[in-house]
């Protein structure tokens, strides 16, 4: 028999993520995170305390700030141009495209260049990260399954972790040897962290090599998977709802025109596309239970005594489909429901928590949304996307594959046709 854990799935997310945020700001101990993030040294899994506050400050000010996101703008555009050209070439003969695989590859490349600074994956880091993500997303909350020798999960996680550690060491050594040539002009995330170590940063972040590796792995694993999963769901919902696809393309044509690609400066005018992304995240939150919180003190809420070290799961999937919150059409894909509302992506409105809320909300919201908006806008602006074999939109399979992350069970296949009037 496996030991029991005290767990709550609350109906009042605001009480846990705002009113009593500090009490529930920690994380439980997960073997998956122990194995895959250097003893929970990454931002997502680290317990609440001074170390977590330090790396949160590092990520917020040095890695995910407005200026840092803007710094990589030209690189993102280069990757998107190459993506569109490649898809255009492939689509010339009416070929069937695995758009899930294409989008995943693109976003992996974008994040890899930002974090690691490499255009190619000569170290073969990506497939090892993807294997680790796969193992963690399916079984990450279950210490019992991982520690049970009969499942082999613990052995597999340790093996993947060892391989990733060796590869990250090689990448860091390459960065250290090239440090004098970089000199701040093309600094990726690893360069920034290594420069802080070298400078003995005054904020006393106390970074060591394992911390750099844990944060690097966190950025890559989170950025690669969550963004590609969101894009995939958005495209699937647009294909299933041609009315909405038509409205998105009309907005893009009105704002951008058909003689160029979408630029990041266009996003502020793409109101309907933002509603489409919100509606997709409402129905298909990437993290349906967020990352579990753990209480650091005993507390009584609404008459219920919650002891220290209780795990709290926030069921964002259920909140997003609750008819008491979203009316009787809660299960329908209807972006117009956001017209005239102040609901944003930041977790201020507890009806909509795609990135969490409070102290432990995702610090990469801006970067994640930027990548999602870029890929979706280019796909639906540069191409008409059709389902294969004259499939009816009603027949498109929308089955979910449950895990820590909520992805599609099956890859999305489309037939793209280039629609711009000009070459890129």
User: CB–CB of 415/95 below 8 Å?
Assistant: yes
> Which helix (H) or strand (E) segment is 244 a member of?
helix 242-255
CA proximity to 54, closest of 134, 46, 252: 46
CA proximity to 411, closest of 176, 232, 210: 232
CA proximity to 227, closest of 120, 293, 133: 133
Torsion, Cα of 387, 388, 392, 394 (10° steps)? -60
CA proximity to 264, closest of 362, 377, 343, 113: 377
CB-based contacts of 82, cutoff 8 Å, min separation 6: none
CB-based contacts of 123, cutoff 8 Å, min separation 6: 167, 170, 171
Rounded CA-CA distance 152/281 in Å is 34
**How many angstroms separate the Cα of 328 from the Cα of each of 15, 331, 369, 377?**
25, 8, 28, 30
Rounded CA-CA distance 148/85 in Å is 48
User: CB–CB of 91/383 below 8 Å?
Assistant: yes
The two tokens of residue 213 are: 């590796």
**Is 373 exposed, middle or buried, given 0-12, 13-18 or 19+ CB atoms closer than 10 A?**
buried
Task: Give the DSSP letter of residue 421.
Answer: S
User: CB–CB of 84/424 below 8 Å?
Assistant: yes
Is 382 labeled as ligand-binding?
no
The two tokens of residue 200 are: 């003995």
Known binding residues: 362
Known binding residues for heme: 362
């Amino acid at each position: 028999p496996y030991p029991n854990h005290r767990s709550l799935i609350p109906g009042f997310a605001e009480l846990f993520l705002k009113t009593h945020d500090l009490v529930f700001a920690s994380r439980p101990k997960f073997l998956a995170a122990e194995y895959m993030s250097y003893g929970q040294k990454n931002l997502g899994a680290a317990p609440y305390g001074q170390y977590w506050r330090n790396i949160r400050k590092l990520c917020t000010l040095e890695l995910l700030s407005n200026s840092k996101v803007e710094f990589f703008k030209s690189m993102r555009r280069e990757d998107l141009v190459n993506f569109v050209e490649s898809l255009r070439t492939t689509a010339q003969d009416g070929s069937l495209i695995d758009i899930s695989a294409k989008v995943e590859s693109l976003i992996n490349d974008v994040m890899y260049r930002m974090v690691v600074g490499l255009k190619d994956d000569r170290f073969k880091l990506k497939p090892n990260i993807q294997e680790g993500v796969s193992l963690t997303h399916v079984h990450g909350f279950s210490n019992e399954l991982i520690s049970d020798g009969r499942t082999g999960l613990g052995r597999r996680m340790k093996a993947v972790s060892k391989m990733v550690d060796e590869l990250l060491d090689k990448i860091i050594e390459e960065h250290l040897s090239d440090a004098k040539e970089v000199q701040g002009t093309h600094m990726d995330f690893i360069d920034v962290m290594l420069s802080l170590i070298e400078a003995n940063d005054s904020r006393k972040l106390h970074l060591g090599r394992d911390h750099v590796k844990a944060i690097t792995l966190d950025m890559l694993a989170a950025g690669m998977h969550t963004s590609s999963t969101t894009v995939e769901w958005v495209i699937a919902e647009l294909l299933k709802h041609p009315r909405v696809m038509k409205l998105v393309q009309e907005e893009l044509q009105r704002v951008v025109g058909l003689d160029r690609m979408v630029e990041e400066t266009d996003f502020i005018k793409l109101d309907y596309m933002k509603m489409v992304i919100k509606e997709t995240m409402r129905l298909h939150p990437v993290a349906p239970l967020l990352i579990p919180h753990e209480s650091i003190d005993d507390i009584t809420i609404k008459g219920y005594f919650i002891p220290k070290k209780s795990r709290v799961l926030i069921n964002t999937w259920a909140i997003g489909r609750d008819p008491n919150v979203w009316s009787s059409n809660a299960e329908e894909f209807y972006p117009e429901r956001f017209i005239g509302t102040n609901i944003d992506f930041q977790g201020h409105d507890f009806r909509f928590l795609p990135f969490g809320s409070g102290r432990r909300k995702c610090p990469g919201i801006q970067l994640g949304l930027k990548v999602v908006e870029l890929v979706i806008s280019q796909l639906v602006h540069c191409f008409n996307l059709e389902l294969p074999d004259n499939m009816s939109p009603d027949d498109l399979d929308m089955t979910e594959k449950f895990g820590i992350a909520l992805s599609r069970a099956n890859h999305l296949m489309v037939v793209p046709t280039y629609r711009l009037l000009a070459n890129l």
